[in-house]
Amino acid sequence: MKEDVLKQKAVGHARWLARQYGARGVVVLVFDQDRVAGASYGETKAECKKLGKVLDDIVDELQMEGPSAWVP
């Protein structure tokens, strides 16, 4: 599956979670053996931008630590 389609699906799931929980924003992380990815959703453009930065910071930190940060 192309990365753009995967990202769109992940954002869609984040939006769904926000609506299910009545939240204004959501950050979702997905872990695999040697990869970490994520999606964020904010109800407004400003919230979306802030949560996108939070997600980027989290993913950057995890990627610097490498798989040992999430693989048991």
Residue-range definition of the domain harbouring residue 14: 3-69
Show the tokens assigned to 1.
């599956």
Domain count, the chain: 1
Q: Is the pLDDT of residue 31 over 90?
A: no
Which residues, in sequence order, are CB contacts of 15 under 8 Å at separation 6+? 26, 41
Predicted local confidence at residue 54, as pLDDT: 96
**Residue 3 — pLDDT band, cuts 50, 70, 90?**
low
How high is the mean pLDDT of the chain? Answer: 87
Angle at alpha carbon of residue 38, lines to 70 and 18, rounded to 5°: 120
35 or 62, which is more confident: 62
